[in-house]
Structure 1
């Protein structure tokens, strides 16, 4: 896993179509895996365009090829206020959504590299908590969260469905 090969940067308007192609294939993979996540028209191209417009879209890049995408927000997930369970911390936090890796780059540990960049983003903002949620049936993401030492904190309702919520405290 060569972390230095990849750069991580804010997405630009010109990246939207390439990002959407990655997400479209990820949505199809979720369906093929039997997951209900992302099977209701979300996310879509306008969600990605809004992420970029609001400066929360980020890409993992191999030279000039976008290989991964996520949205990163600070203290901005209203659903997290109503957790069934409890968070490890109650202060500032970074939250990320819409994690997707290009089909051509699957199985190379890139999601973990991207999560490391998200942790670095948090630390650069002097934030020591990273929170995320995922579907109960997203086995790939659940495995990565376990591998990256995230702690299961409970359930949140996101867009009408229960989701597993996790937090990682950064040192």
Structure 2
């Protein structure tokens, strides 16, 4: 809870960056500090650290995304899955590969929990996240809907160890 202000600062920068890039994602008052607080209270909020400095933030959940039940398309698997949202990297760490480190950490979290599916979504106009999915082996599965608009949905199936 004592990191909410630092996390919110990272998310505010990401919100501003989305707007500067012409994206409509995160331009409607979401996410906000209350969402981050609920993430943390529910045990979903995770930070990537460099010693005590927060590099990035995301929310990670197991089998907990009701919107994914109504996909316009088809998921690759129907087993347990990790879903993650609100991926953001601190301004001072951008362009240094930490988004990929965050995705690798999410994969490790999944494997540690014997889960072999990662599911995520993003706006159609979020070019950096779309590129990150492509570079990291995610497959496009269709569209899901949040707060009245559609998002591109992706899944990555992990190999069992």
Query: TM-score category by the smaller chain?
Result: over 0.9
**Could you say which residue in structure 1 is the equivalent of 2:14?**
26
- Aligned counterparts of 1:143 and 1:106: Cα–Cα separation in 2: 15
| 2:79 aligned partner | 91
- Residue of structure 2 in register with 1:9 after alignment: none
Q: What per-residue deviation string (whole Å, max 9, x for no partner) do you get for residues 55-104 of structure 1?
A: 10000001100010000000000000000000000010000000000001
Which residue matches 1:70? 58
Give the structure 1 partner of residue 33 of structure 2.
45
Which structure 1 segments of 5+ residues have no match? 1-12
| In 1, Cα distance between equivalents of 2:43 and 2:72 | 30
* Partner of residue 106, structure 1: 94
TM-score of the superposition, structure 2-length normalised? Answer: 0.98
Partner of 1:124: 112
Matched residues in 1 for 2:148 and 2:115: separation? 29
Q: Which runs of 5+ in 2 are unaligned?
A: none
- Output the CA distance in 1 between the equivalents of 2:127 and 2:55: 21
Write out the 4+ residue segments of structure 1 that deviate beyond 6 Å after TM superposition.
none
After TM superposition, give the deviation of residue 158 of structure 1 in Å. Answer: 1.2
* Deviation (angstroms), 1:143: 0.2
SS of equivalent residue, structure 1 residue 14: coil
Q: Find the counterpart in structure 1 of residue 24 from structure 2.
A: 36
Q: CA RMSD in A?
A: 0.4
Q: Deviations over 1:91-118 (max 9, x none)?
A: 1000000000000110001011000000
Matched, 1:81 2:32: no
Q: CA deviation at 1:26?
A: 0.5
